A = this chain, B = another copy of it.
Amino acid sequence: MTAETPRTPGLPKAQVRPAPDRTSTPTPSKVDRPTRRRGRTRARLIEAAFAVFAERGFGRASIEEICEAAGYTRGAFYSNFSSLDELFFALYEHRAQLIADQVGGVLGRVSGQDTVEVLVNRVIEALTLDRDWIMVRTEFLLHAARSATIAATMTAHRTVVQETLARTLQDVVDLTDLPPALRSGASLARAVMAVHDGVVVEMLLGTGTEELKSWLRTLLLALLD
């Protein structure tokens, strides 16, 4: 009940199952590709989970609540995931990928000779300050703190972003005089991420986005200039 969003099926195609032993591949393009409908359902559940986790928190979110928000019943959930943790994990990977792409997009190709200020502005532009995402990310961080496996996943994603940042910040290394320990793109990237992580705490306590961007700029310039 109270479902008003999807309710519109999709169009399957193939599945991941035990593979009915197709010795003679009928159509060369349907080996184990997951069904279309399935993909949509998964995606919708993940999106709904994002909203619910952001609003209620992981601890207080129930499977049913998420399904309701997505316009499905628990049957759909259990058909796609085996636990709430698994969904949470999938959600994190999905969004983290988006973030990485975004950062990569904005900082993509280094534009040769820029001033530090210009570089800082691009970096700030690239870093996310979306409150919902920050909240979900923070919950995930807490999970990582309790599971080496999850921590590894999160670290891996951070590394991707960090490396992108490092390439951009490589230029800064020569533009300004930095303490020895910070004289590398990698360590500068690590520093920028730390500052970002720190500033973001204030966002959770109510500071507005613009104010925070300004504060972030101040800090980064103080550090890098």
Q: What is the interface of chain A, defined by CB distance below 8 A to chain B?
A: 55, 57-60, 131, 135, 138-139, 141-146, 148, 151, 154-155, 158, 178-179, 181-182, 190-191, 193-199, 201-202, 204-206, 215, 218-219, 221-223, 225
Nearest 7 pairs of A and B residues by beta carbon: A59-B59, A198-B198, A194-B198, A197-B198, A145-B204, A197-B201, A181-B218
Check A194/B201 contact, CB under 8 A, given A142-B138, A182-B218, A218-B181: yes
Distance A148 CA – B58 CA, assembled complex (angstroms): 19
Distance A177 CA – B104 CA, assembled complex (angstroms): 34
Interface contact B138-A205, CB-CB below 8 Å: no
A155: contacting residue among B139, B148, B179, B205, CB under 8 A? B205
Interface contact A145-B222, CB-CB below 8 Å: no
Q: Residue on B with the closest CB to A58?
A: B59
